[in-house]
């Protein structure tokens, strides 16, 4: 197993201000997605990491989001707000410290209290009083959407306690420090959607994907060392399942193994919507196949045909071989969507243990969940 990352002076409470030096699209025109490769330069920070670690990023809002909101609040951008370090202009404070891409429930409740009696107040009270309607209401709206529907002015002292403070987001590191010294590479699926006639970005993915001027802006970052998602010894065989952005740590693993001259075999399962537009890092993986860094690559493009084909379908088709790898000591890694993909892949492993290992349903479950995952620690997940 790779050695854990040594502690750094930079952490969640004290992030390093890094620069983004490259940012390009991994998906091509016609894709339903906007997935980007982002290179973060660690400068003179001395920050180190190992494949399997994640990068913590403290995002900010687009200034345009704040500039759109302030007139609805009835507040001037330069309004001074007392902070422990001295007064700060409201515009800067909002850009750097408050989540503005989604309205908070406490703000909607605060607004309801302030609205004068009448039709609008009754209407909003009905929404707030119904849990499901309230969840739906805040899911699709930001502060500007709400203030367009229910105009009302706030002082800075009234507004700020009703908004949520920004929290960092984690991104799986997609690079080996041996291949890219002083850099961290990320694979970011930019969240974007239009609701109530206004386009919105996910806070951190929008900031990283489209809120930066390369080589200019400062991005607060820190390493979140992994507790369990370490690479195995170089002689070990590895099976990696990483659809979508789940591919990120496996690019790091493969780059690392190539530089270290790993003798173990590597088998990658990748999937995304369409081969023509969403085959992330296709050229890199083709080159790795040619060089032998990658022994096998099985892809599942879900929307290239009428029926969905997912990574677990490819596992099923190659079940006998996959079972052979596992019995011979291969490590099995999964990264990406926790809600659906990782659950289905988990079940597929159990099915394969039954079908190709001849195990009963109970024994197959025990083999995957206890022997592989806990006793031998050869089944590792980084899912979100
Ligand atoms: C360990 C770990 C590793 C990760 N690695 C990666 C990685 O390598 N690459 C990657 O891209 N992500 C990764 N993530 C996810 C990442 O941390 C963020 O959660 C993701 O980028 C979304 O954050 P955001 O700030 O852009 O969106 P937020 O602003 O936090 O939005 C949150 C979510 O709400 C949804 N949403 C909100 N309102 C609406 C609406 N009206 N309509 C539709 N959707 C809506 C968005 O789809 C989004 O998923 C990882 C997470 C963890 C925990
Ligand atoms: N919990 C989270 O915050 C979270 C986790 C993962 C992704 N996301 C969001 O989803 C968006 C895209 O993410 P992504 O690029 O990483 O890809 P993704 O949405 O995870 O999709 C990658 C591939 O997995 C397929 N897939 C869907 N359901 C599956 C299942 N049950 N089993 C196996 N494969 C399955 C998809 O197919 P189809 O789409 O054709 O069905 C697609 O081909 C982003 O906006 C991202 O932020 C959020």
pLDDT in tens, 241-298: 999 999 999 999 999 999 999 999 999 999 999 999 999 999 999 999 999 999 999 9
pLDDT in tens, 18-52: 999 999 999 999 999 999 999 999 999 999 999 99
In the chain, the number of structural domains is 3
Query: Can you give the pLDDT at residue 62?
Result: 96
Query: Can you give the pLDDT at residue 252?
Result: 98
Nearest CA to ligand 2 atom 19: 244
Domain co-membership, 45 together with 181: yes
Query: Can you give the pLDDT at residue 71?
Result: 98
CA–centroid distance, residue 38 to ligand 2 (Å): 19
Domain co-membership, 243 together with 184: no
- Judged by its nearest atom, the ligand closest to the C-alpha of residue 316 is 2
Does residue 259's CB lie within 6 angstroms of at least one atom of ligand 1? no
> Which of 326, 328, 329 is CA-nearest to residue 349?
326
Domain co-membership, 50 together with 68: no
Which CATH number belongs to the domain containing residue 194 in this structure? 2.40.30.10
Confidence band (pLDDT; 50, 70, 90) for 213?
A: confident
pLDDT at 374 over 70: yes
Domain co-membership, 78 together with 119: yes
Which CATH number belongs to the domain containing residue 346 in this structure? 3.40.50.80
Residue to mutate, 59, 136, 140, 202, ligand 1, most ligand atoms under 8 Å from C-beta: 202
**Domain range holding 178?**
16-58+171-224
Domain co-membership, 216 together with 297: no
Nearest CA to ligand 2 atom 39: 273
Judge whether 2 lies within some domain: no
pLDDT in tens, 65-90: 999 999 999 999 999 999 999 999 99
pLDDT at 4 over 90: no
Mean pLDDT across 349-359: 98
Residue 57 and residue 222 in contact, taking contact as beta carbons nearer than 8 Å? no
Does residue 358's CB lie within 6 angstroms of at least one atom of ligand 1? no
Judge whether 130 lies within some domain: yes
Query: Can you give the pLDDT at residue 216?
Result: 81
Does residue 195's CB lie within 6 angstroms of at least one atom of ligand 1? yes
Burial class (CB in 10 A: 0-12, 13-18, 19+), 47: buried
Query: Can you give the pLDDT at residue 2?
Result: 66
Higher per-residue pLDDT: 218 or 223: 223
Domain co-membership, 156 together with 254: no
Residue to mutate, 243, 312, 382, ligand 2, most ligand atoms under 8 Å from C-beta: 243
pLDDT at 99 over 80: yes
CA atoms of 241 and 253, how far apart (whole Å): 12
Domain co-membership, 317 together with 353: yes
Judge whether 364 lies within some domain: yes
Which CATH number belongs to the domain containing residue 151 in this structure? 1.20.990.10
Domain co-membership, 204 together with 294: no
CA atoms of 1 and 371, how far apart (whole Å): 18
Nearest CA to ligand 2 atom 11: 189
Domain co-membership, 376 together with 265: yes
Does residue 311's CB lie within 6 angstroms of at least one atom of ligand 2? yes
Domain co-membership, 111 together with 175: no
Judge whether 142 lies within some domain: yes
Mean pLDDT across 136-159: 98
pLDDT in tens, 159-169: 999 999 999 99
Query: Can you give the pLDDT at residue 8?
Result: 85
Domain co-membership, 201 together with 261: no
pLDDT at 3 over 90: no
pTM of the model: 0.95
Domain co-membership, 111 together with 247: no
> Which of 318, 327, 308 is CA-nearest to residue 371?
327
- Judged by its nearest atom, the ligand closest to the C-alpha of residue 252 is 1
């Amino acid at each position: 197993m790779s050695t854990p990352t040594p502690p750094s002076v930079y952490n969640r409470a004290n992030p390093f201000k890094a620069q983004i030096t490259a940012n390009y699209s991994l998906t091509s025109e016609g894709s339903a997605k906007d997935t980007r490769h982002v290179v973060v330069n660690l400068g003179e920070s001395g920050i180190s990491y190992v494949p399997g670690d994640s990068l913590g990023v403290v995002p900010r809002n687009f200034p345009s989001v704040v500039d759109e909101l302030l007139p609805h609040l009835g507040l001037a951008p330069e309004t001074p707000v007392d902070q422990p370090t001295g007064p700060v202009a409201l515009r800067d404070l909002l850009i750097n410290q408050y989540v503005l891409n989604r309205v908070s429930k406490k703000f909607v409740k605060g607004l309801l209290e302030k609205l004068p009696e009448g039709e609008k107040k009754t209407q909003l009270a009905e929404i707030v009083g119904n849990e499901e309607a309230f969840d739906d209401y805040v899911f699709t709206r930001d502060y500007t959407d709400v203030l367009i529907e229910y105009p009302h002015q706030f002082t800075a002292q009234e507004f700020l306690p009703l908004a949520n403070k920004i929290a960092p987001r984690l991104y799986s590191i997609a690079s080996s420090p041996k291949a890219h010294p002083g850099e961290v590479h990320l694979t970011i699926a930019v969240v974007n959607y239009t609701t109530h006639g206004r386009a919105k970005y996910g806070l951190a993915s929008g900031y990283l994907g489209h809120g930066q001027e390369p080589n200019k802006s400062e991005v607060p970052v820190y390493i979140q060392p992994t507790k369990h998602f370490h690479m195995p010894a170089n002689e070990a065989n590895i099976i990696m399942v990483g659809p979508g952005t789940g591919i990120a740590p496996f690019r790091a693993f493969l780059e690392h193994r190539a530089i270290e001259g790993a003798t173990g075999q590597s088998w990658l399962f990748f999937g995304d919507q369409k081969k023509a537009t969403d085959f992330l890092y296709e050229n890199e993986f083709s080159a790795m196949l040619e060089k032998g860094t990658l022994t096998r690559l099985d892809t599942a493009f879900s929307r290239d045909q009428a029926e969905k084909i997912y990574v677990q379908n490819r596992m099923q088709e190659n079940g006998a071989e996959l079972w052979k790898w596992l019995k011979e000591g291969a490590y099995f890694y999964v990264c990406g969507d926790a809600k659906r993909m990782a659950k289905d892949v988990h079940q597929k492993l159990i099915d394969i243990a039954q079908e190709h290992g001849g195990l009963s349903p109970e024994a197959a479950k025990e083999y995957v969940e206890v022997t592989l995952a806990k006793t031998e620690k050869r089944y590792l997940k980084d899912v979100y």
